[in-house]
Amino acid sequence: MAGEIKVAPSLLAADMGDLRRAVAEVERAGADYLHLDVMDGAFVPNISFGAGVIKALRRESRLFFDAHLMVEEPGRYLEDFAAAGADLITVHYEACRHLHRVIQQIKGLGLKAGVALNPATPVTMLEDILPEVDMVLLMSVNPGFGGQSYIPETTEKIARLAEMLKARGLALDIEVDGGITAENAAVPARAGANVLVSGTGVFGRADYAAAIAAIRQSAAAR
Ligand code: DX5
Ligand code: ZN
């Protein structure tokens, strides 16, 4: 349901040598989504993991798999990620020459579709695709690496997107990604974001359940 607060730990900050355990632990700790950051070393200056890893983790978990593709022309890989068990695929506006087609392809595979914007891309670019998507992801850092600081200008951008959705009578999820911790989660939530990604803010803490609960509580108190 759009509007409901969801916490999405990003596996990018987990122990890459023991992903199976990381997934089981955040599932037990109350994560709503598992955020899966796929990087191709071309769209972003880093390489993470692909559909094979997601497929292996799918066998271990019942969590909602939120795949964030930071990949050039992601239309080439949608079937792979669908077969791997993604529940939602988010593609970057900046990485798709034919975004509308890519969104239709994701939905045609029976999945939820999201579109992501880099910090420098204005939300007005989404005007004509909003009715087609289930979620908008606003990057609050430049994609490529975990552990960066939340870019303060994102807050106003979230508010502008929330206004656009309201004016159109659309109830989409707004996901915010990058530099979110229990200490600042209320800021994007107050502006209208309801899906909060957190990598180091969960996996960098000793107690995952406490970190997830604290993010949820500070966001819900918006
Ligand atoms: C950045 C990724 C984010 C990031 C979040 O490219 O899309 O999901 O890993 O990590 P933190 O919460 O550490 O900024
Ligand atoms: Zn991400």
102-140: pLDDT as tens digits: 999 999 999 999 999 999 999 999 999 999 999 999 999
Confidence bin at 189 (pLDDT 50/70/90): very high
Strands 6-9 and 195-198 come out as: parallel
21-50: pLDDT as tens digits: 999 999 999 999 999 999 999 999 999 999
Q: Which residues surround ligand 2, an ion (CB under 5 A)?
A: 37, 68, 177
> What is the pLDDT, as a whole number, of residue 222?
73
Question: Cα separation of 209 and 36, whole Å?
Answer: 19
Residue with tokens 């975004």: 99
**Residues enclosing ligand 1, CB less than 6 A?**
10, 12-13, 35, 37, 68, 70, 141, 143-144, 146-148, 177-180, 197-201
The answer to whether 100 touches 115, Cβ cutoff 8 Å, is no
> What is the pLDDT, as a whole number, of residue 200?
98
Residue with tokens 């997830």: 212
Written as one letter, the residue type at 25 is E
55-105: pLDDT as tens digits: 999 999 999 999 999 999 999 999 999 999 999 999 999 999 999 999 999
Active site residues: 37, 177
* Encoded tokens for 222: 């918006």
> What is the pLDDT, as a whole number, of residue 2?
61
* Encoded tokens for 112: 């939820």
For the residues 143-165, what does the mean pLDDT come to?
Answer: 98
Question: Cα separation of 92 and 99, whole Å?
Answer: 9
Residue nearest atom 1 in ligand 1 by C-alpha distance: 143
* Encoded tokens for 177: 């990604």
Gap from CA of 162 to ligand 1 centroid (Å): 22
Q: Which atom of ligand 1 is nearest to 12's Cα? A: 9
- 95 phi and psi, to 5 degrees? -105, 0
> What is the pLDDT, as a whole number, of residue 1?
45
Residue with tokens 């579109």: 115
Confidence bin at 221 (pLDDT 50/70/90): confident
Residue of 46, 177, 196, 215 to mutate, ligand 1, most atoms within 8 A of C-beta: 177
